[in-house]
Amino acid sequence: MNRSRQELDSTVVNIELTLVSIIQGVALFFLTDNARSIMSERHWDAFLYVAAGLCVIFIFWSRSIMHTLTLIKWPLEFGHNFFYIACTLGEAILFSRLDRPLAWFQLSAAYAGLVWLLFVYDMRLIRARMAESNNDAGRALYACARADQLLNIWVLVPLLFLLNLGCAFAICRWPDFFITRAGHVWLIGAQLISFVVYLFYVARFFRVIAPLVLQSHQAD
C-alpha cells in the first residue's frame, strides 16, 4: 500500500512539473513574440517591460517548482492546476501590453489579484499536508511552507497589488508626465526592482527548505 501511494505521488508530481513547464513555455512564447514586435519598432523604453515580463515568468516558474517539491502528492488537485492555467492566460494577456503602460499596470494589478487568490486557495493543501504528516522533518517543512504562504497572503502579494494599482492611478492622474514625457519608465523601474527583490527572497527561501525537503522524503 505504501509503495502504491509513493508511485501515485510520483505520478502526480510528474504531471505537475510537466504542466508548469508547458504553460510557462506558452507564456514565454507570448512574451518573445510581443518583444520582437516592439524591438522592430524601436520602442527602446519597452525593454524594461520585457525584463519585467521575464521576471514574472521566473517568479511563477520558481514558485511552482518549489510548491511541487514541497506540497504536491496524491490525489491530483484540479482546482490548483486550473489556477495555474488561468494565471498563464493572465500572463499572456499582460505580455500583449508591453508598449501600453496604463494597460500594463492595470493588468499587472489584476494578475497580482489572481495570484493572491491562488496563494489563499493553496492554504488548503498546506493544511492537508500538515494533518497527514507523521514525522518531525515533514512537520518542520510544512510549518515553513505555511509561514511563507501567510507572508505572501498578508504582506508580499498585497504590496505588489497596491504597487501596480498605484502606478495605474498615477498614469491616469498625470498622463502628461507619465505618458507624454515618458515618466512611466520610473514606474516600470520600480516594478522591475520589486520583482528582482522578490526573486532573491524566493532563492533564499529555497535554500532554507531544500534540506527539509530532503529530510522529509527520507523519513517517508
pLDDT in tens, 114-171: 999 999 999 999 999 998 888 888 899 999 999 999 999 999 999 999 999 999 999 9
Handedness of CA 20, 23, 25, 28 (dihedral sign): negative
Distances 45 to 4, 39, 138 between C-alpha atoms, Å:
54, 10, 47
Residue among 162, 167, 139, 148 at smallest CA distance from 62: 148
User: 66-75, pLDDT tens digit by residue?
Assistant: 999 999 988 8
Among the residue ranges 88-92, 136-140, 186-190, the one predicted with the least confidence is 136-140
Q: What is the mean pLDDT of the chain?
A: 93
The pLDDT value recorded for residue 41 is: 67
Give the Cα separation of 123 and 149 in Å (integer): 7
Structural domain count of the chain: 1
The pLDDT value recorded for residue 45 is: 79
The pLDDT value recorded for residue 1 is: 46
Give the Cα separation of 9 and 13 in Å (integer): 6
Supply the range of the domain harboring residue 129: 2-219
pLDDT tops 90 at residue 81: yes
Residue among 123, 124, 125, 97 at smallest CA distance from 110: 97
Mean predicted confidence (pLDDT) in 207-214: 92
Give the Cα separation of 115 and 83 in Å (integer): 8
pLDDT tops 90 at residue 109: yes
Q: pLDDT class for 96, splitting at 50, 70, 90? A: very high
Residue corresponding to grid cell 507572508: 151
Mean predicted confidence (pLDDT) in 169-195: 95
**In contact, 47 and 188? CB cutoff 8 Å:** no
Q: 74 in helix, strand or coil? A: coil
pLDDT tops 80 at residue 2: no
User: 5-22, pLDDT tens digit by residue?
Assistant: 788 888 999 999 999 999
